[in-house]
Chain A
């Protein structure tokens, strides 16, 4: 590797990392929090078979899963202003990422809820607990454990997906890489560098996932 390229990479590293930590990570965390909230609500509505709302949820999942993320992003940021809905780039990205991943996660959470034995609910009723109490203290925690690997997957995929926000002017880590590249023309080196930073972030998440799974395994064993 020549000295110029090495110098560019060393110079750009702290800048990329800075945008990674200040923009990519918060964008991921906020979007994931929104997605988690949406997915639990949507999954619960379907699990409890709430009339009408249930159809609304199926419709939401159908639309989101059936259209590309990039198109959704552009629709919200470039399309909606023409009907008077103007959302800044960063919040628009959070909304789209949250609603998009939320649809996938809702299916993971619903599957996990349905895998919890109905007997848990019956036992709860028989000791005088209400539906909400049983869901909160017994069914949801068990479902969470089952859904955890799938949710971790979603988180990791979302972290990488935030690079798409660069296309709607959010100055996040990848866009910063393209900006630097525009000055120095070192695509291979710079994009490899930014890829490695994403890889490092994802490695950290994978490691956190393993710790989380160990914690959740504390009550061990198979399902009755």
Chain B
């Protein structure tokens, strides 16, 4: 087991958003976290990387335990070295070029030499097809290009797992494909990924497992194929039906 989250709980102003979520991730897993808006998916993902402080919960990562509520700053920094996060709004550093966006974490965070960082960054940018725009600023790129740079930034730190928070939700429909195809490549290369998404094709065809959440609880989890073809829970069935309806 590479990552295990246990009993993750979180409330905002007395409203329970996460009611004790459990998750297990094996190396190489690509897990799609699905569910209607407001089900707590994003909050759960953010808690795993301490972007949000859970009220309770435990994370075991590579055998090391982290208290999701009370971990120290040093613990959090150590955990984040092994993880990467891709945001819905990309969150590229707006005052930095494409290349700098990828190298900054390496030179400052990981204290790498400039040349070495550049080499890694260029490689990561090649992987997402953005190596020809090294000197562009985020504002000069399309949303799809920005998100690919964000993925390169995530890759550059050689994380053990990448968290994706609705990576295509802010994109114009015609730009979604380029981001999904990069994610598909990563999945095929064996990257461990945890993806909050509304892209059912991705969940169905690329992800290996599904975690279906509603109202702050996990309703059903298991292999993707089984989830889509033979959902066990009534609410999962309703969810899948609603998606099929929406497509018509």
Contact = CB atoms under 8 A, between A and B. Distances in A.
Tell me whether A and B are bound partners: yes
A138 B87 contact: no
B105 A142 contact: no
Contacts of A129: 104-105, 108-109
B157 A222 contact: no
B80 interface: yes
A142 B95 contact: yes
Nearest to B78: A128
Interface residues of B, number: 29
B138 A127 contact: no
Contacts of B110: 128
B44 interface: no
Given A122-B51, A221-B138, A127 B91 contact: no
B49 interface: yes
Contact of B80 (A117, A128, A222): A128
A122 B84 CA distance: 11
A220 B139 contact: yes
B151 to A, nearest CB: 12
A79 interface: no
Interface in A176-207: none
A138 B95 contact: yes
B212 interface: no
A131 B51 CA distance: 13
Given A133-B108, A224-B138, A126 B95 contact: no
Nearest to A119: B91
Given A125-B80, A128-B81, A117 B91 contact: yes
A123 B108 contact: no
Contact of A138 (B84, B96, B139, B153): B96
Contact of B153 (A127, A219, A222): A127
19 contacts: A122-B85, A123-B153, A124-B105, A126-B83, A127-B105, A128-B109, A129-B109, A130-B108, A133-B108, A137-B93, A137-B96, A138-B95, A141-B95, A218-B137, A220-B137, A222-B139, A224-B89, A224-B90, A224-B91
Interface of B: 49, 51, 77, 80-81, 83-85, 87, 89-97, 104-105, 108-110, 137-140, 153, 157
Interface of A: 117, 119-120, 122-130, 133, 137-138, 141-142, 145, 218-224
